[in-house]
Amino acid sequence: MKNIYIFLFFFTVSIFCRAQYNWTNGQLVLENGEILEGQIKIPMVSKNLIAFNGKEKVSYRPNRKSKKVKYGAEQVKMVIFKNSDSETAYFEYIPILENKKGLFQVITSGKATLYARSVSVTSASGPAGGFQIYSFNNFNEFYVIREGEELASPMITARLSRSFKKRAMEFFSDCPKVVLKLENRIYKKEDIKSVVDEFNQCQ
């Protein structure tokens, strides 16, 4: 019986993890201060496209029978999904290149804010993303941006590149406690949230 409950728990989480890529009830907060309530669908980015125009637009409709309207990075301040009174997810556009913004979920914030998203790739079926319960396995890309910075820095990306350890030690170099734990492999890429949380507490 216990195993059945465990299965049902993770099955439910899995459904919610995929929900934002389908029509989901939420709030669309625009830069002009307007708040639109209704059904929202955020885009799933594909790293397989050779020519990607860089415009990830959010789809919105007041209800299922309404015509959808798309909003881009310059119009959207925030997307809010609320699964319960205690479980709310915030999505924001952040600058990942000089002329490109991406839509990410806010994971933890402070003097450094951690963002995550899931992108689709042909070589592997990436995680679906999530907004009910945070899990490293719900995402395959993580970016961090400090207060006052103009561009977010990649920590983990869907495509293989620099190692997380090298990136993190460089980015968090002004916090010796974090660097030491990275050097000693106490912190691995699965601990990215803990890394950012400890950095935000670093004096």
Query: What DSSP letter does each residue of 90-101 carry, written as one string?
Result: EEEEEEEETTEE
Whether residues 146 and 77 fall in one domain: yes
Q: State the total domains in the chain.
A: 2
49/105: higher pLDDT = 105
Count of C-beta atoms within a 10 Å radius of residue 72: 13
C-alpha distances in Å from residue 32, one per residue of 18, 78, 81: 29, 11, 20
Whether residues 185 and 149 fall in one domain: no
C-alpha distances in Å from residue 41, one per residue of 62, 118, 128, 149: 12, 14, 14, 29
pLDDT at 7 over 60: no
Whether residues 169 and 155 fall in one domain: no
Whether residues 100 and 9 fall in one domain: yes
Residue environment code for 125-155, b if the CB has 16+ CB neighbours within 10 A, otherwise e:
ebbbbbbbeeebebbbbbbbbeeeeeebbbb
Per-residue pLDDT tens over the stretch 104-146? 999 999 999 999 998 887 544 444 444 555 788 889 899 999 9
pTM: 0.81
Whether residues 130 and 185 fall in one domain: no
Q: pLDDT class for 47, splitting at 50, 70, 90?
A: low
Q: Are 133 and 149 in contact, with CB atoms under 8 Å apart?
A: no
Whether residues 121 and 199 fall in one domain: no
Whether residues 170 and 142 fall in one domain: no
Count of C-beta atoms within a 10 Å radius of residue 188: 15
Whether residues 192 and 134 fall in one domain: no
pLDDT at 74 over 90: yes
Whether residues 10 and 37 fall in one domain: yes
- The boundaries of the domain holding residue 194 are 162-203
Whether residues 139 and 68 fall in one domain: yes
Whether residues 54 and 31 fall in one domain: yes
Whether residues 166 and 107 fall in one domain: no
Positive/negative CA dihedral, 110, 169, 138, 7:
negative
